[in-house]
Structure 1
Amino acid sequence: MTAPLDVPGGATDAQPEAVLAGGGVAIQGRSLTQIAWTRLKRDRWALAGGVLIVVLVLVAIFAPLVVKLLGHPPNEFHADQIDPNLSMPIGRWGGISGDHLLGVEPVNGRDLFSRVVYGARISLLIAFLATLLSVVIGTVLGVVAGYYGRWVDTLISRTMDLFLAFPILVFALALAGVVPDRAFGLNGDALRIALLIFIIGFFNWPYIGRIVRGQTLSLREREFVDAARSLGARTPYILFRELLPNLAAPILVYATLLIPTNILFEAALSYLGVGVRPPTATWGGMLSAATTYYSVDPTFMMVPGVAIFVTVLAFNIFGDGLRDALDPRAR
């Protein structure tokens, strides 16, 4: 029986990781973020939705530059583009031309492309900030209710039920009529935007609060929480340093799915006339104005309608892909 050759660099000198890898390089571990990103890259639809979201956000942020290059000021009238006898855009498809990429509005001739771009700023701003408000309130109360249990859980859970049963749309209609033109140091569009963010965000927190509470009920019985308690960790440390990082995935996924809901709700409020007031461009306000002319100028209604549809679809597709990437067992 011959002994194995002790050759430098041979099999006897190789580390177990190198042997398993089939070479001289050790296997490197991957974090949960890297694993989720790898899964997300395989979903082309989710990536397409994410790219579209980034484009929409950039267009909204740089709306003045985009309009300066490709359009006209959103409140500028173009009487030369309107037929004086019919008060309708000259030409076919709502007056679409090289100078007006999406046509013009009936009667006043305002550029539709510019108004859709500026409307994206209002819709996305309200949707993002309202979602942030809902996530913060829902996460804090959901974690507290799930961790403490007993009467604290009962109190917060019944409060969630109360908010879920509250007629938000009716309240928004009533509040918009009661709030004066100047309040809380704000006026004009700033007051209306702040009011919409409060209504949408404050009354939607129970949805994410219930999800966080359910996840916390499961996590509080895990070994890492018991280990933190045995080491003398206080409750705030356990809540925000142990439980909250493990809740990041469901919170992030639900936030991406809540944003399109808030976009639709803001559009509905603007459509009903309780959102941002004209002449400030909003997608819902444009749809409301287009109802008078949809039979003779369908382009006027299609442009903001398609903008809402594409934005909501992009967020929903990206949210579904993100959920699958962070939790493959949900498939």
Structure 2
Amino acid sequence: MSDIKSDASNGAGSAGESVDKGQQLTQFQLVWRRFRRHRAAMFSLVVLVALTLFAFALPLVWPYDHGVYREIAGNQSPSWQHPFGTTNQGQDVFAQTMRGAQQSLKVALTVSVMATGFGALWGAIAGYHRGRIDAVMMRVTEIFLIIPLLVAVAALGGNLTGGTTWYAVALIIGLFSWASIARLVRGSVLSLREQEFIEAARASGASASWIILRHLLPNAAGPIIVAATLLIAIAVQVEAALSFLGFGIQPPDISLGKMVEGARTAAFTRPWLFYPPGLIIVAICLAINFIGDGLRDALDPRQTISRR
């Protein structure tokens, strides 16, 4: 009763509908079936998996890393040995691009998990208790909502020595990214708390923390998952912008935004330095957004579901 409620009550199919000799589809199978019908989302999922392998698996077998090699001639155009060419300092741009994608994805995933976890819990507590607790918590949320994200993160990151590492950058971005999730979850909880299964949980003596964690958050999982997915794309853009402005990941490490910043004057003279990291940023963000659209359609309980 407390899990994500089945959509069978929407009239899509009777309780007797089954698959392969009476085996009913699970909620996950129903969502996956919907998601597969979204062609753009499926293609984007393949692209995202390919980019993830490019960032985390390919560096294990590639002969170069993002550092400087004395034996590499500087300022080479793309070749079989260096598919994206080399920098003036003798760095393999292909290896740099893999490292940059890896760092950007690590920042984005960390931000998404951290901001979604904290924001969902904050919004659920505010929506369940209402009254003064809700008013105070929502005022705090609104303060974080009106602060310009990029300006706040740049100001804080620029004054922290640890801001040059990927995990410090992720922590700073996540600190200012949870408020929208909190407001979204609060809205869902305000409607869920009036449902009969919540009243039954209260009547049985369940504590507020148990109801929030066991009943409310699982039933609000749909919008939370979609928001968390889209937050990955936002974090990629913010990290790239910070690195471009000089407040993000710094040398000797590298990120996609830092690569774009370093090659901004060579967009036409040496395009192999500028376009690969820029195109990967665009590809990650587009893929995440299409996946988010697919998840939103798949998790929408108002859509008709076929259980066969």
Q: CA deviation at 1:75?
A: 1.4
Match of 2:51 in 1: 56
- Kept in 2, the 8 Å contact 1:59–1:66? The answer is no
Please give the alpha-carbon distance, in whole angstroms, between the structure 1 residues aligned to 2:129 and 2:254: 46
Whichever residue aligns with residue 276 of structure 2, its letter is: V
- Do residues 301 (structure 1) and 274 (structure 2) align? yes
The question of whether the paired residues in 2 share the 8 Å contact of 1:60 and 1:117 is answered with yes
Look up the match of 2:104: 123
Matches within 5 A, 1:1-331: 27-68=22-63, 72-77=64-69, 81-82=73-74, 88-89=75-76, 95-105=77-87, 107-180=88-161, 192-327=165-300, 329=302
Distance in 2 separating the partners of 1:326 and 1:175: 37
List per-residue Cα deviations over 1:4-49 (Å, max 9, x = no partner).
xxxxxxxxxxxxx99x88xxx7533222211111111222221121
Give the greater-gyration-radius structure (CA).
Answer: 1
Q: Equivalent residue of 2:246, what SS?
A: coil
Q: CA deviation at 1:251?
A: 0.9
Identity of aligned residues (%): 38
Q: Which whole-Å CA distance do the structure 2 matches of 1:287 and 1:237 have between them?
A: 48
Distance in 2 of aligned mates of 1:73 and 1:239: 46
Distance, in Å, in 1 between the alignment partners of 2:299 and 2:240 is 30
Give the length in aligned residue pairs.
289
- What amino acid maps onto 2:226 in structure 1? V
Deviation at 1:63, TM superposition (A): 4.5
Report if the CA contact (8 A) 2:244-2:258 is conserved: yes
Q: CA deviation at 1:272?
A: 0.6
**SS of the residue 1:101 aligns to:** coil
Higher alpha-carbon deviation: 210-219 or 241-250: 241-250
Cα separation, 2, equivalents of 1:251 and 1:300 = 38
Q: CA deviation at 1:298?
A: 2.3
For residues 91-130 of structure 1, the C-alpha deviation after alignment (integer angstroms, 9 at most, x for no partner) is: xxxx11111112222x223211110101111101111111
Q: Give yes or no for contact 1:67–1:117 (8 Å, CA) kept in 2.
A: no
TM-score norm. by structure 2 comes to 0.87
Q: Which runs of 5+ in 1 are unaligned?
A: 1-16, 83-87, 90-94, 181-186
Q: Which runs of 5+ in 2 are unaligned?
A: 1-14
Are the structure 2 counterparts of residues 28 and 324 from structure 1 closer, same or farther at C-alpha, using a change threshold of 3 Å?
same
Give me the whole-angstrom Cα distance separating, in 2, the residues matched to 1:160 and 1:177. Answer: 24
